[in-house]
Structure 1
Amino acid sequence: MQVSVETTSGLERQVTVTVPAERIDQDVNKRVQQTARTARIDGFRPGKVPVQVIKKRYGKGIREEVIGQVIQETFYEAAQQEELNPAGMPNIDFKNDKEGEEFQYVATFEVYPTIELADFSGVEIEKQTAEVKDADLDTMVDTLRKQQASFAAVERAAAEGDQVTIDFEGFIDGEAFDGGKGEGMELVLGSNTFIPGFEDGLVGAAAGDEKELNVTFPEDYQAENLKGKDAVFKVVVKSVAAQELPELNAEFFAGFGIEKDDLEGFKEEVGKNMQRELTQALKMKLKDKVFSQLIEVNAIDVPAALIDGEIDNLRRQAVQQFGGENSQLDPNMLPKEMFEDQAKRRVTVGLLVQEVIKSAELTADEDRVNSTIEEMAETYQEPQQVIDWYKNNQEMLNQVRSLVLEDQVVDHLLASAKVNEVEVSYEDAMKPAQPETEAQEEAAE
């Protein structure tokens, strides 16, 4: 077997493989003979079909099978011989596949990048710290009450926090537009469910009132044809209902899976959940900042094949999230561009994290693996059952090990970086992590 390698661009390689005719012919003849022993053809006894008859009838298919097997074997032989690390399956182009002649093909594929990690000691990382204060706990209890609130009709003008039932229709330049009409819509004023200005315009309205609301669609509105457009909504208020909060009693507490009879006991359990969520939120934000900086100081080429594979994963996840396991939606119908940036970041982080693990010779700390499983189990009614399930399920156990190893990478990088702690409120700490590019743009403004 002869092998030649050409770098066509960046990570792309073209490998030309030439296989002696004898290797193909020997395998073809062997399979022809095997087929002759089992083939059933009219006019011949089983096992007595002449080889030439077999070749004439099945020869083309047998040769194609042999060539497919030879390509599979020789491609990986060639990759090992030339010390290439393919990222994804190759595109195969036949150069010569004539019977009796040497077989030649060209495999085009991408390789994993060679990574030399940059010094991380000059990197500055902002680490947020926060705590759950009494005021935060009171706010959370109020939020939980509002989630369980009911509404009762009132004969007065609507105030913020009230629920109004409305019919409405929207117009742009005097013309109604698709999606701008609704009937019997229940809307809590102050919930920011509708575009800015809409809910404010209904404060003070009573049942039977007709209103015309002049509003402007946000520039980042999801519908392209409505972005930044001025609109008039004609609204009929059908009814106004005031919010009625539930009592803080054992029945209310049980609705959240907390078996307590008094408010203090309930608040204690809610506080534990808040602290658990806060710890996780701060951890994820810090990890995001570290990985963003890791990407920034390590500019690497990323194989397109890996990005495409991750896009497919994200498409499937999106379908499952919005349509459930039995969704009939074809993931490929979702535009590739929706997931491209996220996929590239995921792949880049994955490649760099693996390089950090390799260079620092990190292995998953089993004590941290056990403590992570215990923390995850705390949120269930039978924690020990969850712990046992993880420890007896090798696949899930390996997933936890991967998470722990990722945390160890973060710790390893932070050990050499300049870390600046910044105390923030519970509310700010719980806000979703903002992409670095957006944060930089806002800071510049």
Structure 2
Amino acid sequence: MAVQIENLGQLDRKVTLEFARADLAKAREDRLAKLGKTLKAPGFRPGKVPKSMVEKQYGMQVDFELQFDKASELFYGWAQNEKILLAGQPRFDPKSELDADNVVFEAYFEVLPDVKIGDFTKLEVTKYTTDISDAEIDRAVDVLRKQQVHYHPRGEAGPHGNGGENTAAQAGDQVVIDFVGKIDGVEFAGGKAENFEYVLGEGRMLPEFEAATLGLKAGESKTFPLSFPADYHGKEVAGKTADFTITVKSVNWAHLPAIDDAFALSLGVTEGGVTKMRQEVKENLDRETKRRITSLLKGEVMEKLNSICELDTPKSLVAQEQERLAESARQDLIQRGIPNAKDAPIPAEMFAEQALKRVRLGLILSDLVKQHNLAATADQIKAEIDEQAATYEDPKEVVRWFYSNPSRLKDIENLVLENNVIQFFTSQAKVVDKALSFEELSKLN
């Protein structure tokens, strides 16, 4: 066997592999004999077909397969012996005839790049801090109340009152209306509905529509002009003015549940009432805050790493990542029930920039992990799983769920590994603490 390697560029390599066809003689004979046992031919019993007929039927196929297998075996053996770090699968190109005594292949491949890590100490990252106040807990509880809102007709007595003496539609009320819209006196598609229900102030309808409804009582009607924006989603009416007539069928005021032990029980808090409920709300907000702060810090660290590290990116890995992202996008469409998602054109090229960045970061992280021993340990993985499982009703079952699937375990391992890199980075770089309210934190990208 002979091996010759040639440098074709920054990461591209070509190796020429040569071996004697005679080296495959026994394997060829054995492969043909095995195929001959299954070959059927008129006038011959199974397994009794002459060798010449087996040769004629399968000879070229067997030569092709054995020579490719041998080239692959030689290549990977050579790469292992030489400690070549491959960036992907090689491409084998035969350069000799199938019946040549001396078989020659060329293997084209990419090697992993050398990664030049920049100086962390010259960089600055921001680490946000947030304290959950009683006001934030109040806002979160109010959101939970609104999720249980129910409506009563204005002016009608009920267990929760009548909503006040004013029976006209007000902000926050739910209204049920009939409406019809016309442009130049002609009704248009989508401009008519009966028993249409919406809540005033939620922004579901155009501002002119809501303004016209405010102040009307059940049974009252109103006609008003409405100008559709030029960028309105309905292209047939975009930029045009329509005359709408609305008739209010009912006006219903919103009743929110009182914040008491019964409300806490409705949220699954079986003991401790409102006090325990507020404690659990704070714990959830603390977890969300921690997740958000970690995500923002991780994003900034990854951006800084990408900017200060120098490396050539293997084209093969970028191509593979593009295909993976395209397939992930397709699966997302399928899960969302998008029609014909399986056949929808999703060009891998549209993910080129994202794939390049992910591959670069993957190589950078891999290098950092090796250099500074940042691999995830079994104890770290267990601690992360236990922390995630603690948010569920049956943590033990969640822990079993993680450990029962190698793919899920790998995801946790990668998460811990990234956290290790972040801790290492922030131990070297300058970290600036910045306090924000929970609301301010939630608005950051």
TM range (shorter): 0.7 to 0.9
Alpha-carbon shift at residue 182 of structure 1 (Å):
7.6
Q: Distance in 1 between matches of 2:83 and 2:98?
A: 29
Q: Distance in 2 between matches of 1:307 and 1:177?
A: 50
**Percent of aligned positions that are identical:** 29
Larger radius of gyration: 2
Native 8 Å contact 2:64 2:98 kept in 1 = no
1:348 aligns with 2:360: yes
Q: Distance in 1 between matches of 2:13 and 2:341?
A: 36
Counterpart amino acid of residue 296 in structure 2:
K
Q: Distance in 1 between matches of 2:186 and 2:329?
A: 35
Q: 1:30-429 to 2 correspondence within 5 Å?
A: 30-37=30-37, 39-80=39-80, 83-154=83-154, 158-164=169-175, 183=193, 186-193=197-204, 204=214, 206=216, 208-214=221-227, 216=229, 230=239, 232=241, 237=246, 239=248, 241-260=252-271, 262-324=273-335, 329-330=341-342, 333-336=345-348, 339-391=351-403, 395-429=407-441
Q: Structure 1 length normalisation: TM-score? A: 0.80
Task: Give the unaligned 5+ runs of structure 1.
Answer: 435-445
Native 8 Å contact 1:164 1:238 kept in 2 = no
Structure 2 SS opposite 1:353: helix
Native 8 Å contact 1:315 1:331 kept in 2 = no
Q: Which residue in 2 is equivalent to 1:440?
A: none
Q: Deviations over 1:27-78 (max 9, x none)?
A: 3233123333554433335544332221012212222322342343233234
Mark the CA change 1:100 to 1:338 in structure 2 (over 3 Å): closer, same or farther: closer
Counterpart amino acid of residue 270 in structure 1:
V
Mark the CA change 1:97 to 1:265 in structure 2 (over 3 Å): closer, same or farther: same
Q: Which residue in 2 is equivalent to 1:441?
A: none
Counterpart amino acid of residue 320 in structure 2:
G
Q: Distance in 1 between matches of 2:188 and 2:100?
A: 70
Alpha-carbon shift at residue 331 of structure 1 (Å):
7.2
Counterpart amino acid of residue 364 in structure 2:
L
Mark the CA change 1:320 to 1:175 in structure 2 (over 3 Å): closer, same or farther: farther
Native 8 Å contact 2:117 2:310 kept in 1 = no
Native 8 Å contact 1:306 1:347 kept in 2 = yes
Q: Deviations over 1:146-186 (max 9, x none)?
A: 12222445596654434455768799xx99999x8684664
When structure 1 is superposed on structure 2, of 110-119 and 233-242 the one drifting more is: 233-242
Q: Distance in 1 between matches of 2:187 and 2:11?
A: 53
Mark the CA change 1:13 to 1:208 in structure 2 (over 3 Å): closer, same or farther: farther
Q: Distance in 2 between matches of 1:7 and 1:231?
A: 65
Mark the CA change 1:163 to 1:317 in structure 2 (over 3 Å): closer, same or farther: farther
Q: Distance in 1 between matches of 2:186 and 2:350?
A: 31
Counterpart amino acid of residue 89 in structure 1:
Q
Task: Give the unaligned 5+ runs of structure 2.
Answer: 156-166
Q: Distance in 1 between matches of 2:312 and 2:241?
A: 50
Q: Distance in 2 between matches of 1:105 and 1:177?
A: 70
Native 8 Å contact 1:36 1:49 kept in 2 = yes
Q: Structure 2 length normalisation: TM-score? A: 0.80
Q: Distance in 1 between matches of 2:191 and 2:88?
A: 49
Q: Which residue in 2 is equivalent to 1:12?
A: 12
Structure 2 SS opposite 1:333: coil
How many residue pairs match? The answer is: 424
Native 8 Å contact 1:17 1:78 kept in 2 = no
Structure 1 SS opposite 2:100: coil
Q: Deviations over 1:173-219 (max 9, x none)?
A: x99999x8684664444445568x5777567364643444446467x
Q: Deviations over 1:119-151 (max 9, x none)?
A: 111110011110111100101111111122224
Q: Distance in 2 between matches of 1:284 and 1:306?
A: 26
Q: Distance in 2 between matches of 1:175 and 1:121?
A: 70
Q: Distance in 2 between matches of 1:84 and 1:420?
A: 42
Q: Which residue in 1 is equivalent to 2:3?
A: 3
Q: Distance in 1 between matches of 2:92 and 2:430?
A: 49
Q: Deviations over 1:350-373 (max 9, x none)?
A: 221111100101232444333322
Q: Distance in 1 between matches of 2:351 and 2:410?
A: 27
Q: Distance in 1 between matches of 2:54 and 2:203?
A: 75
Structure 1 SS opposite 2:41: coil
